[in-house]
């Protein structure tokens, strides 16, 4: 029996790689329900309609580690042949025939579907408002919870119905066509009109409200938020409609899906994920107007939106062409931000991308853009740079025409790099083979060429030993180490906040009193972070940073002032007492820690402050909050029994960065003890 299953296992994977040549899945209608949520049980029925392209004796549907699964083919043939990774439908299929298979399943997924805060076994009880279910298919495989096809070259029209408890919102791909309210549950029916790869299937369930706006073209933009975060709605979703309209007009191809939804979730694995028409993003980007300055959702928002064309409408055939998704999304997100924040922002970001690529190159890690094992930095940042250079090479008109034709020709299909390059060549009338060899195939960064194009037609900085600058371009990296007085002079006259920020960072805290007069938030933030030792003559100036509309600036300034001027610690704590900070409570957790270790500060409230800080280690809170609390408790050597219990629980968290952090901290604490 084991030998037979092993044989089927290998047959399955061999067949899977060739399956799109034999079968074309057309539609999927899924009915999803949930069992015991504390045990992470999902179950349901999915019906696939498919067409056989060539004679074949089996087809395969991916289903990873399911507890139960069986099928009925064409209402006649029933079986449950399953190898742990694929459901095998054995039948003498004939070319040009159409079939329907009904699959019933039950699973307890360990990845791709996440059940947030349903576990009641933790020390601190979890409130209902935190309870969520959400999915992440890319890199994790939707087939962990829904029998589906992992091959991104198979595109299917999905219609999904989900039954869940009455008092929850259920969001999925497509248009909501019906809500059937039952005794204790509601069934939500979502309809998709166009095909997509199964890794883009998504659902999110939680306690949400929503607001709806409409694009110029009439597309509904549904923006979800937690009820208690109503005052954070505007800064969180700021510029959403503007960016949608910009991208739709700039790309030149109408938005391809029925609507566009965005949903924040707790403890997400990444910043965001571009599921078809339904972006899920980390709720750490839910911010107020002050938080917007330092940690806003704009870039992630634009990036995931751009993916609706680049990745969802046209999808790379394989990892070799992954840059067609990430490079394009990064580039078009930057264009959308340029439309909002201006040219200075755009060129500084390009410069920062180039520096990140240069650092990678110095480590000997540069790879080809067509290497499927390349880093995210290569796919995202170099991909964006290549598109910037290509646009300058063939001209704006030809570039736009090439992109538009590329998307129209290959819509709802899978693509390779040559497909895009071919359209760019047709639009421009140029042979781009040399361009492809130099920028796409070569593993070299070619930074000198990036620099030439980046700084073309501008006057480079030429700072002299006399300390007086001659004409310079604001985008050129100034050498403040060699010419500090010249840099200080620039700070006095320059109105470019990006340049001034870079100068202050390079000066390393060696600034004059007049620098504090600069009103730029990022400039003052750079002052706070670089001046760790505060000269007494600049004390009052530095204290003014506590008034800035920046949670990062306040956090840094509070610690540095507390550290530099012990006699004034109470004053600084009183001034910042009610500030929470970002969703990760960066200012509050620091404040609690400093309040606890400051001699004589509100001793009557010490236990209350400790309990609050300890409470933030609970699974009740997002992992970012917990990380801050764990760090500070470990720092003051107060991570006791409850804290360590929560830390051990965190080692099993689904977010690998957080679990790694927890394991490392436990190890370090054991060493110290």
DSSP 592-658: HHHHHHSTTS-GGGHHHHHHHHHHTTSTTS-HHHHHHHHHHHHHTT---HHHHHHHHHHTT-SSHHH
Which of 335, 325, 318 lies closest to 304 in space, CA to CA?
A: 325
- φ, ψ of residue 181 to 5 degrees: the values are -90, 120
User: What's the pLDDT at 555?
Assistant: 98
User: What's the pLDDT at 487?
Assistant: 79
Q: Per-residue pLDDT tens for 272-320?
A: 999 999 999 999 999 999 999 999 999 999 999 999 999 999 999 999 9
User: For residue 301, what are the CA distances in angstroms to 241, 310, 555, 580, 634?
Assistant: 11, 14, 26, 24, 35
User: For residue 636, what are the CA distances in angstroms to 187, 569, 601?
Assistant: 50, 17, 16
**Chosen domain end from 206, 235, 267:** 206
User: For residue 104, what are the CA distances in angstroms to 42, 73, 520, 587?
Assistant: 11, 12, 59, 50
188 & 114 share domain: yes
**Chosen domain end from 454, 489, 520:** 454
26 & 163 share domain: yes
Whether 536 has a pLDDT exceeding 60, the answer reads: yes
Residue with the larger pLDDT of the pair 287 and 487:
287
Lowest mean pLDDT among 323-327, 366-370, 485-489: 485-489
Mean of pLDDT values over 460-477: 36
Q: Taking the model in full, what pTM does it have?
A: 0.92
What's the CA gap between 535 and 325, in Å, rounded?
50
User: What's the pLDDT at 121?
Assistant: 61
Q: Do 165 and 205 form a contact (C-beta atoms < 8 A)? A: no
What's the CA gap between 662 and 657, in Å, rounded?
9
Lowest mean pLDDT among 60-64, 428-432, 489-493: 489-493
Question: Which DSSP letter does residue 463 get?
Answer: B
21 & 123 share domain: yes
Mean of pLDDT values over 359-384: 96
List the CATH number of the domain containing 35: 2.60.40.1730
Which of 458, 462, 441, 439 lies closest to 450 in space, CA to CA?
A: 439
229 & 97 share domain: no
Q: Do 153 and 206 form a contact (C-beta atoms < 8 A)? A: no
Whether 122 has a pLDDT exceeding 70, the answer reads: no
Residues in the chain: 673
170 & 257 share domain: no
Extract the tokens encoding 298.
Answer: 């704009």
Tell me the pLDDT of the chain averaged across its residues: 91
Whether 356 has a pLDDT exceeding 50, the answer reads: yes
Whether 2 has a pLDDT exceeding 50, the answer reads: no
324 & 387 share domain: yes
List the CATH number of the domain containing 382: 1.10.390.10
199 & 84 share domain: yes
589 & 446 share domain: no
Number of structural domains in the chain = 5
**Chosen domain end from 308, 337, 370:** 308
Helix 417-428 vs helix 383-394: angle between axes, to the nearest 10 degrees? 20
Whether 343 has a pLDDT exceeding 60, the answer reads: yes
479 confidence band (pLDDT: 50, 70, 90): low
What's the CA gap between 422 and 406, in Å, rounded?
9
Share of the chain above pLDDT 90, in %: 82
User: What's the pLDDT at 5?
Assistant: 39
Whether 127 has a pLDDT exceeding 80, the answer reads: no
Q: Per-residue pLDDT tens for 25-58?
A: 999 999 999 999 999 999 999 999 999 999 999 9
Range of the domain at 441: 316-454
Mean of pLDDT values over 499-519: 86
32 & 125 share domain: yes
User: What's the pLDDT at 38?
Assistant: 95
34 & 170 share domain: yes
Whether 423 has a pLDDT exceeding 60, the answer reads: yes
User: What's the pLDDT at 7?
Assistant: 39
113 & 185 share domain: yes
Q: Do 639 and 629 form a contact (C-beta atoms < 8 A)? A: no
262 & 246 share domain: yes
For 370, half-sphere exposure in the C-beta direction (CA atoms, 13 angstrom radius) is: 11
- φ, ψ of residue 328 to 5 degrees: the values are -65, -45
């Amino acid at each position: 029996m084991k030998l037979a299953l092993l044989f089927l296992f290998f047959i399955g994977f061999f067949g899977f790689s060739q399956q799109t040549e034999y079968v074309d899945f057309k539609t999927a209608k899924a009915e999803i329900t949930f069992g015991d949520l504390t045990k992470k049980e999902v179950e349901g029925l999915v019906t696939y309609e498919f067409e056989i392209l060539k004679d074949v004796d089996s087809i395969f549907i991916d289903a990873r580690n399911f507890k139960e699964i069986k099928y009925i083919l064409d209402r006649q043939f029933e079986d449950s042949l399953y190898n742990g990774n694929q459901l095998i439908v054995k039948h003498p299929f004939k070319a040009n025939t159409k079939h329907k298979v009904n699959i019933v399943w039950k699973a307890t997924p360990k990845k791709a579907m996440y059940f947030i805060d349903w576990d009641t076994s933790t020390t601190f009880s979890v409130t209902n408002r935190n309870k969520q279910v959400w999915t992440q298919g890319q890199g994790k495989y939707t087939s962990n919870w829904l029998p589906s096809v992992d091959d991104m070259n198979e595109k299917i029209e999905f219609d999904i119905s989900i039954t869940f408890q009455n008092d929850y919102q259920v969001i999925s791909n497509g248009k909501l066509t019906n809500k059937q309210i039952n005794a204790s549950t509601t069934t939500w029916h979502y309809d998709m009109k166009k095909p997509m790869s199964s890794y883009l299937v998504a659902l999110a369930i939680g306690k949400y409200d929503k607001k709806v706006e409409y694009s110029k073209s009439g597309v509904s933009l549904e923006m979800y938020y937690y009820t208690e975060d109503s005052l954070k709605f505007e800064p969180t979703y700021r510029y959403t409609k503007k960016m949608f309209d910009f991208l739709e007009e700039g790309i030149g191809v109408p938005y391809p899906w029925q609507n566009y939804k965005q949903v924040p979730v707790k403890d997400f694995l990444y910043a965001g994920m571009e599921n078809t028409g339904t972006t899920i993003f980390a709720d750490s980007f839910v911010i107020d107007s002050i938080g917007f300055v330092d940690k806003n959702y704009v870039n992630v928002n634009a990036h995931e939106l751009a993916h609706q064309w680049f990745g969802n409408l046209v999808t790379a055939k394989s990892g070799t062409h992954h840059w067609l998704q990430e490079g394009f999304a990064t580039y078009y997100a930057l264009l959308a931000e340029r439309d909002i924040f201006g040219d200075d922002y755009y060129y500084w970001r390009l410069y920062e991308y180039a520096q990140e690529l240069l650092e990678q190159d110095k480590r000997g890690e540069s790879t080809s853009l067509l290497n499927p094992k390349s880093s995210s930095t290569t796919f995202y940042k170099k991909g964006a740079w290549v598109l910037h250079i290509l646009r300058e090479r063939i001209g704006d008109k030809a570039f736009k025409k090439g992109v538009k034709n590329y998307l129209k020709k290959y819509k709802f299909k899978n693509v390779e790099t040559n497909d895009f390059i071919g359209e760019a060549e047709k639009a421009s009338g140029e042979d781009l083979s040399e361009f492809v060899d130099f920028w796409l195939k070569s593993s070299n960064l070619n930074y000198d060429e990036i620099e030439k194009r980046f700084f073309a037609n501008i006057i480079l900085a030429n700072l002299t030993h006399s300390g007086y600058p001659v004409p310079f371009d604001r985008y050129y990296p100034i050498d403040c180490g060699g010419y500090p007085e010249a840099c200080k002079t620039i700070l006095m006259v320059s109105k470019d906040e990006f340049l001034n920020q870079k100068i202050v960072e390079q000066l390393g805290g060696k600034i004059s009193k007049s620098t504090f007069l600069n009103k730029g938030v990022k400039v003052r933030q750079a002052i706070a972070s670089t001046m760790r030792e505060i000269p007494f003559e600049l004390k009052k100036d530095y204290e003014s940073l506590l008034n800035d509309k920046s949670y990062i600036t306040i956090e840094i300034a509070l610690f540095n002032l507390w550290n530099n001027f012990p006699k004034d610690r109470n004053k600084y704590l009183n001034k910042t007492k009610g500030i929470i900070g970002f969703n990760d409570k960066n200012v509050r957790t620091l404040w609690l820690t400093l309040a606890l270790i400051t001699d004589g500060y509100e001793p009557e409230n010490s236990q209350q402050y400790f309990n609050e800080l300890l409470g933030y280690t609970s699974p009740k809170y997002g992992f970012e909050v917990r990380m801050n609390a764990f760090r500070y408790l470990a720092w003051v050597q107060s991570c006791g029994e409850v804290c360590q219990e929560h830390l051990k629980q965190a080692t099993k968290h689904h977010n690998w960065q957080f679990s790694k952090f927890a394991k490392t901290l436990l190890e370090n604490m054991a060493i110290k003890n």
